[in-house]
Amino acid sequence: MLQLICLPCVLLIRQTLLKQKSKTPLLLLLRLLLLLLLLLLLPLPLPLPLPLPLPLPLPLPLPLPLPQPLPLPLPLSLPLPLPLPLPLPLPVLLLLLLLIVLLLLPLLLPLPLPLLLLLLLLIVLLLLLLLLLLLLLLLLLLLLLLLLLLIRLLLLLLLLLLPLLLLPLLLVLLLLLLILLLLLLLLLLLLLLLLLVLLLIIIIILLLLFLLLLAMLHNLFLNVSFCLNRKELLYMYIFS
């Protein structure tokens, strides 16, 4: 509703600004009004419903404010677990814990581990690393979307503020957006480095799996050849 009300006002004030060339106090007032209307157009967290419940408990009698501090500690205790990383870092942390446990398992077991157990451990490690790789790719996509949104916002601000000739405000906004873009680019570089490290670890694990499979095949061939040699020796002993 605010946007529907403010948009025609913004258009009218902009037309008057473009028509009027002399710098008068009226022009400055119109510019200030236009800035206020542009700020109203931004998506704010709806401050209208908040003042409505606040005056309601004020006219109530004195005994009613006493039970109000009782529900207050409940919402205060709720945000304590909320600062923990909930959306994406939680699965990443779980995967890292699983990786650490799998890496510590060979230390708890006897050192000459069987080949099958090593093979299973390497396969599970490979799957967990692939999951981490997928999560990092999702983070990269989200950061790229944020970059695109910031570039769009920058272009819109340029289009809105250039006709108004508000150079100081325009420069401040440009600096802020450039700082945000640089931070996002640094995050992208860090994520790319993590992806490269994960890819190297996955390649090493694949090489270890290949070597384990070769060792298992070598043991099978040795067992088969040993059994054949024993059979030949038995036949030679029987027929001799």
Q: What is the mean pLDDT of the chain?
A: 64
Report domain extents, the chain: 1-14+25-46, 116-203
Output the six-digit token pair for 124.
């599970």
Contacts of 100 (CB under 8 A, 6+ apart): none
- pLDDT value of residue 70: 47
Taking only the tens place, the pLDDT of each residue in 121-179 is 777 777 777 777 787 788 788 878 877 887 787 777 777 766 666 667 767 777 877 88
- Which of 113, 124, 136, 134 minimizes the C-alpha distance to 205? 124
- For the chain, give the secondary structure using H, E and C: CHHHHHHHHHHHHHHHHHHCCCCCHHHHHHHHHHHHHHHHHCCCCCCCCCCCCCCCCCCCCCCCCCCCCCCCHHHHHCCCCCCCCCCCHHHHHHHHHHHHHHHHHHHHCCCCCCHHHHHHHHHHHHHHHHHHHHHHHHHHHHHHHHHHHHHHHHHHHHHHHCCCCCHHHHHHHHHHHHHHHHHHHHHHHHHHHHHHHHHHHHHHHHHHHHHHHHHHHHHHHHHHHHHHHHHHHHHHHHHC
CA angle 112, 117, 120 (to 5 degrees): 145
Taking only the tens place, the pLDDT of each residue in 77-109 is 443 433 333 344 566 666 666 666 666 665 555
Output the six-digit token pair for 18.
């473009």
Q: What is the pTM of this model?
A: 0.42
Report the alpha-carbon distance of residue 193 to residue 68 in Å, rounded: 51
pLDDT band, very low/low/confident/very high, at 16 (cuts 50, 70, 90): low
pLDDT band, very low/low/confident/very high, at 50 (cuts 50, 70, 90): very low
For 20, 52, 102, 154, 232, the CA distances from 106, given in Å and listed in that order, are 80, 63, 8, 54, 40
